[in-house]
Amino acid sequence: MNIIKFNISKIKIDNFSPKDKALDLTIHFNDGANKEISKIVEINDPYTLSEFIVSDIRGIIKQAKGNVVPITITDEEELIHKISIFFSKVADKIDNIKRTKVAEGYLQLIREVNNMQLKL
């Protein structure tokens, strides 16, 4: 029985909604071949969201390879921690956008969030 190892190489924000903290993400990962998925998620709890993304990718790989194949990731806790820090920064920037009351700098804040990505 083969053990499949996967890693997440990049998480990129394609779009977001400051009202409900919804993010449109592209997640790049490798399970022997480079792949990417798109997800729309809410960023209420960064750590829980990070765990969800890792387990969701694990589920996608299991479904593609067969449910009996064990799937592992190197240093999963550290990966989840790095992803949750990234989502915390995104949530802070979105909160800054929501608090902005003047037009000056507003578009720049939006561009900053749309250009955020995490390379692992």
| Both structure tokens of 100 | 């902005």
- How confident is the model over 12-52, as pLDDT tens digits? 999 998 888 899 999 999 988 999 999 999 999 999 999 99
Tell me: the pLDDT tens digits for 53-104? Answer: 999 999 888 888 777 778 888 889 999 999 999 999 999 999 988 888 887 8
What are the boundaries of each domain within the chain?
Answer: 4-119
Angle at 73 between CA 67 and CA 77, to 5 degrees: 120
Q: How confident is the model at residue 107 (pLDDT cuts 50, 70, 90)?
A: confident
pLDDT at 69: 74
* Closest CA relative to residue 87, chosen from 7, 5, 16, 3: 16
pLDDT of residue 54: 94
Per-residue pLDDT for 1 more than 70? no
Q: What is the predicted pLDDT for the residue at 99?
A: 86
